[in-house]
Each structure stands twice: as structure tokens, then as C-alpha cells.
Chain A
């Protein structure tokens, strides 16, 4: 049995048929070949599979594909415009905020979500927000430096 859904993935409207027990991560990777989001733990703890649904970060290994009906999903593939990297990607690159790179898609999506809700986070807030993204290589110092450089670049929102 398959369920028809209408959704928007990385700005592209689409209709798809998904299995009732299919996770969003399986839908992205297996059906759409968007293999940037990766499965680390499969139980929503490591953060490697983080994608944005309606701008909010979710662990796509826990969300069912049927739940994105009518919603906008952004994955790591949806950040760069042509050859131009997203500022968060560029900052991670400049600060070498990864070693093996497995956690990086999730880290970058979580950072996007953090900066969209809080453009100038303190180091404490960054640590708290990104504590759900585990990096086995331990590149946290570089990630912190990358996020710090972004928060310094961001001009405060008017009225904030």
C-alpha cells in the first residue's frame, strides 16, 4: 500500500507515493536520491539526519514521510545556489569544521535553524543548541569557531 503526498522539497513541488512506514530519511535518500542527509543512529539522538521542515530542524530518521504532506522540506542539497555555497557551508569550509564529514550535513542544517531563530547566539546558546549533533571525530572547537564567525557577520535584526 502506498500513500500519495504532495510536498515541496528544496523549493521543488512534487507528488509522490510513499509507504506508510517509510521514514522521511528513507524517502529522501532512496526515492529522491538526496543522499546528503545520512543515518547515524536511527533513533533521533545523533543529529546526522537533520533536515528543515517548515524551517524547523527535525531528525528525518524519526519523521514519517507521510508527515511532510503539504510541508516545505529543506535538505543539505537545497542550500547552495548553483556553485555558490550557503554562508553556513562556506564558514564550515573555512574553519575546517569537520574531519570525516559524516555529521556535517546535520550540523550545517542545525546551524541554519539556530541562526534563523537566533542570528547572534552566545557560545552557551550554540553549545546548547548543537548538543544534539554528535561528532565522533570531536571537531566541536572548529564548529564553534565557524558558528561564531557567522554570528559576528550577521547584523542584528531591526527591533531586536
Chain B
């Protein structure tokens, strides 16, 4: 879920003529401990997976899906229904969208 928080808010590969221009952690920011929410709880819903070896099941990235829509919905809710179609929800992107919806100049 924290990985997903990164893709919802910070992480984006930027290319210039096919060259990645933010290829180090100096420019490409995964979430750090300071980005970790104060309240955080994960619940495991266990379901059997008999096809896996010894019934084992990969769970690492299964939690990636719901976080972006949850944050997107929260932002849309806070902004009176302005929806975003692109991630990550960087502050400048959110501000530009709000201004364009309100008809203000950037």
C-alpha cells in the first residue's frame, strides 16, 4: 500500500527524447518514512489458492490497486468533484487543474 501511495502522489518517470531524466532517487521519490500515514492498518483477507506450490500465494503487490482510486476520490471529494485522469497527483498538477476548471489563468 505504501508503494501504491508513491505512485499515487510522487512517482513518475520523465523522459526527454527517450532518455529518462529522473533516473536516481534524487529526482524520483518513492515514499519515505515521513510520508507514511499516522494511522495505518492493513487487514489480510485469507482465501485458499490450491494451484500455488504448497498452497502459497503471492501477495506483495496485490494491495497496489485500490490506493490510487481511494486518494483520487478523496481529492475529488475535497475539491467539489474535480476529477483527475493522470497520476501522480502532484501539487502543481492539482492546482493547474483546479485553475483550469475555474477558468483562471495559470
Residues of A within 8 A of B (CB): 40-43, 45-46, 99, 126-128, 130-141, 143-144
Contact = CB atoms under 8 A, between A and B. Distances in A.
Interface residues of B, number: 17
Contacts of B24: 41-43, 45
Main secondary structure of the interface of A (DSSP, over half): loop
Main secondary structure of the interface of B (DSSP, over half): loop
Contacts of A128: 34
Nearest to A100: B60
Contact of B3 (A45, A127, A131, A138): A138
Nearest to A124: B34
B40 A131 contact: no
A138 B34 contact: no
B94 interface: no
Contact of B32 (A40, A134, A139, A144): A134
B1 to A, nearest CB: 7
